[in-house]
Amino acid sequence: MCLLQSWYVLSDYEVEDRINDSLSFSYFCGMTIEQVAPDHFGFKKHHVTDDEGIVVGVLTTTASKNGIAILEEVLDTVNIELPEDIPLKADKGYQSKKNVEVLKKRKLKNHILKKALKNKLLTKWELRFTKLIGKTRFKVERTFGGIKLWFKGGIARYKGMGKMHTQNLMEAICYNLYRSHGIVASNIKK
């Protein structure tokens, strides 16, 4: 596909249309008439937010990358020094012994949702902890919901990691600008 793009000066979407439309293009790519050009690419965005839900760090990865392996990388996207003993809230996809050690090393409180192990249910304490943390995780989830609602986020508009990371950064910047005036106004009232 990249060769066709270069030879015919086509954009990502144009080459996709040409492959679906032209027999010679689809045969060149080794596709049969019944096959359709791939139009989906898997990416994940990882956000670090503050207490107000303002995005302070963004990391874009391929969808195949597991959250367990990249917590430290996600935390490195924050350009400010995180204060000690602040709670780090994350979904259960980040729960691992390695990540617990990462949080201890950075002196952050572990508020990652607990995950049941294979053939082992969560204990009463873990269920209570997960329910308690779930009540405060809305600040992070609100960020994803706001980006999806206001800026149609969650849809890969581009192909390629660099372009997708730029899209995620722009969505985060727009979200921060959209929310910041309300946050300032609510803090004045206090």
Mean pLDDT, residues 182-189: 84
With DSSP H G I counted as helix, E B as strand and the rest as coil, what are the percentages for the chain, rounded to 5?
50, 10, 35
User: What's the rounded Cα separation, in Å, for the pair 134 and 31?
Assistant: 47
Q: Which two tokens stand for residue 60?
A: 């874009």
For residue 151, what is the enclosing H or E element?
Answer: helix 138-151
Q: Which two tokens stand for residue 27?
A: 């045969």
Mean pLDDT, residues 11-33: 79
Structural contact between residues 47 and 53, judged by C-beta atoms closer than 8 angstroms: no
pLDDT at 169: 93
Structure-model confidence comparison of residues 176 and 118, the more confident one: 176
Q: Which two tokens stand for residue 77?
A: 């996207």
pTM over 0.75: no
Mean pLDDT, residues 87-93: 87
Q: Exposure pattern of 89-98 as b/e (b: 16+ CB <10 Å)?
A: bbeeebbbee
Structural contact between residues 77 and 59, judged by C-beta atoms closer than 8 angstroms: yes
pLDDT at 1: 73
148-161 pLDDT tens trace = 998 888 877 777 89
Structure-model confidence comparison of residues 189 and 57, the more confident one: 57
34-71 pLDDT tens trace = 766 555 567 889 999 988 889 999 999 988 888 788 99
DSSP per-residue letters across 157-173: -SSSHHHHHHHHHHHHH
